[in-house]
Amino acid sequence: MKERVTLTLDKDLIEKIDNRVDGINIRNRSHAIELYLTRHFKEDRIKTAVVLCGGKGTRLRPITYEIPKVMMPVQGKMLIEHIFDLFKKHDINNIVLCVGYLKDKIKEQIGNGFKYGVNVTYVEEDDALGTAGPLKLMQQQGKLPTEPFIVSNGDELKDMDLNAMYEVHKKSSNLATIALAAVDNPSSYGVARLTGNKILEFIEKPENPPSNFINAGLYILDPKIIELIPDGHSMLEKDVFPKLAKDNNLFGFPFDGQWFDTGTPERYEKAIKEWKPLSG
């Protein structure tokens, strides 16, 4: 049962609250205040994030012959540090790094994460396992969370409201929610075809995009999704998400915050020039 209350707030605070209202995930000012109070007083929140760090970064050679993608610098910090900042901003301090290529360099630099303000553990790939395979390996090693968790690519910079995304995930009662970034030229990516927040499919590099929303490389997953992942190399994007979409069990979270892909020299340069760092 809800009750109406009247609040008197500082003008600057009201402006910050109103800036969070997008009309979709946060409907209005009252909804925004309710969400933030709920998050403050409840323990029901995302506690674990998994970062996929095993890729070779072949499109960024020769740099990645010696430097893992997640350790490449952007404005004085490694990529992975900016990702840590996003998680710390949302009180997510338990981080699992799935490492493969040049994993010893990552482990030597990051260690247990203490100096970056997070708690880091590792899942080590002997062979490349893709974006889904490491989750199966986590299960086999007894490291898979028993509650919804985040999975993020390690070569993208993102700024979004992860708490609001979790609220959408819970209300949908689905196995996966995908963060969707709005881009000016979606035809260079896999583009989401949507009905409401439900994802019907991703269309790869379409001439006539059905939307301007693309997979932003960050997901909230229910642990039950592991049942859809085979042993060995597998991809969330190709082997898991299409199955969920077919069963009407795949949802999107459109956001208008920052998003930069660093997978090519041109995109990496753009990120260096335009990314606005977060405060961790």
Q: State the catalytic residues.
A: 205
Separation CA 236–CA 251 (nearest Å): 14
- Between helices 29-41 and 162-172, what is the axis angle to 10°? 90
Separation CA 275–CA 258 (nearest Å): 7
Contact criterion met (CB below 8 Å) for 177 and 251: yes
Is the torsion defined by CA of 216, 219, 225, 229 positive or negative? positive
In 3D, which of 82, 94, 236, 87 has the Cα closest to residue 162?
A: 87
What burial class does residue 95 get, using C-beta atoms within 10 Å of its C-beta: 0-12 exposed, 13-18 middle, 19+ buried? buried
Q: Which position has the token pair 């309710």?
A: 34
Q: Give me the residues paired with residue 52 across strands.
A: 98, 153
